[in-house]
Amino acid sequence: MDLYFPIAEMSINVLLLLALGGGVGILSGMFGVGGGFLMTPLLIFIGVPPAVAVGTEANQVVAASVSGALAHWRRGNVDFKMGFILLIGGFFGSTFGVWIFTKLRALGYIDIVISLCFVTFLGIVGGLMVAEGARSWLRSRSSKPVSTKKLHQHTWLHGLPFKMRFRRSKLYISALLPLSIGVFVGILSAIMGVGGGFIMVPAMIYLLGMPTSVVVGTSLFQIIFVTANVTFLQSVNNQTVDVLLALVLVISSVIGAQFGTAFGSKLKSEQLRALLGILVLAVGCKVGFDLIVTPAHLFSFAVTGGH
């Protein structure tokens, strides 16, 4: 059964889309991730124009992060003050990101930049996850006691000005830190069509030293606003948000996430992390392979002027 999508301007098999959305939904339920970093490359693999894949995914991530953020908010796991600082940065970052995106698109470089971003970040994050998963698996076999660390180390980062107190996170740090993390993830969010949780979460734990309990909820909270900003600006500047495609993906991923959560509770967390790492690496390798292998068509065309 094929459906014609008005912004992507192509027919796509709906069953294939439901399978992709459901599959990514299962994974996001299992691992507690947004799934944008898997969905955008998958959409590109099935032939959706990369610019449309990015714009549409930003829209889908809004929906995915709302349900997640609400669940965390009910449990009180959102540091609103921190989230607010992050989203101010994210707002500027994503606005700048969409501006870069529009420029690169006019020059014909956007597809390659999207792919390079995915190769880089999927490679780094996937690699780290696999390494971490393997290390904790080895540790659990040798059954040595895990060394207890201080809550966080003091570095030069703590000497920065504009210090602020974040009660929920039990932190007293410079506002410039979360602000710049917000800007960086915002830029990536705009260019890659992802929420950026896979970068935001480790950055909050390792750079800011936030307690893990509030990290995911706070990250999801600010992702709602940043991806909403990306959705809006991509709609205005590039008209690359396909609401129909986003809707099909939202429905299938919400259903998939239900099953994913049930599966996830049956697996050990280090197994989960290693599994997700392998998957992330595999997608990154595929994107990278497509960049290196001689393309079937060296030429491409685009209509210029108007729409």
Q: Is 69 helix (H, G, I), strand (E, B) or coil?
A: helix
Residue of 45, 70, 92, 205 interacting with other proteins (CB under 8 A): 70
Residue of 108, 138, 263, 269 interacting with other proteins (CB under 8 A): 108
In the chain, the amino acid numbered 49 is P
Binding to other proteins in span 20-59, by CB under 8 A? 59
Residue with tokens 């996430």: 257
Q: Is 144 helix (H, G, I), strand (E, B) or coil?
A: coil
Stretch that binds other proteins, among 31-39, 150-158, 202-210, 239-247 (CB under 8 A): 239-247
Decide: is 291 part of the binding site for other proteins (CB under 8 A).
yes
What number of chain residues touch other proteins (CB under 8 A)? 58
State CA 293 to chain mean position distance: 26
Cα separations in angstroms, 284 against 53, 60, 238, 294: 16, 21, 26, 18
Distance CA 215, CA 82 (A): 10
Decide: is 11 part of the binding site for other proteins (CB under 8 A).
yes
Closer residue to other proteins, CB minimum distance, 169 or 219: 219
Q: Is 134 helix (H, G, I), strand (E, B) or coil?
A: helix
Decide: is 275 part of the binding site for other proteins (CB under 8 A).
no
Q: Is 13 helix (H, G, I), strand (E, B) or coil?
A: strand
Residues found in the chain: 307
Binding to other proteins in span 175-234, by CB under 8 A? 224, 228, 231-234
Closer residue to other proteins, CB minimum distance, 250 or 272: 250
Element (H, E) at 47: none
Give the nearest distance from C-beta 192 to other proteins in angstroms.
17
Closer residue to other proteins, CB minimum distance, 5 or 198: 5
DSSP state of 82: H
Beta bridge partners of 184: none
Closer residue to other proteins, CB minimum distance, 92 or 232: 232
Measured at the CA of 42, the angle between CA 38 and CA 46, to 5 degrees, comes to 175
Give the nearest distance from C-beta 76 to other proteins in angstroms.
16
Closest CA to 41 of 300, 282, 305: 282
Distance CA 239, CA 101 (A): 12
Closer residue to other proteins, CB minimum distance, 159 or 306: 306
Decide: is 15 part of the binding site for other proteins (CB under 8 A).
no
Closer residue to other proteins, CB minimum distance, 171 or 248: 248
Closer residue to other proteins, CB minimum distance, 74 or 165: 74
Distance CA 259, CA 290 (A): 32
Decide: is 299 part of the binding site for other proteins (CB under 8 A).
yes
State CA 110 to chain mean position distance: 18
Stretch that binds other proteins, among 129-137, 139-147, 157-165, 242-250 (CB under 8 A): 242-250
Binding site for other proteins (CB under 8 A): 2-4, 6-7, 9-11, 59-60, 62-68, 70-71, 108-109, 111-112, 116, 224, 228, 231-236, 239, 241, 243-244, 246-247, 250-251, 254, 257-258, 291-292, 294-295, 297-307
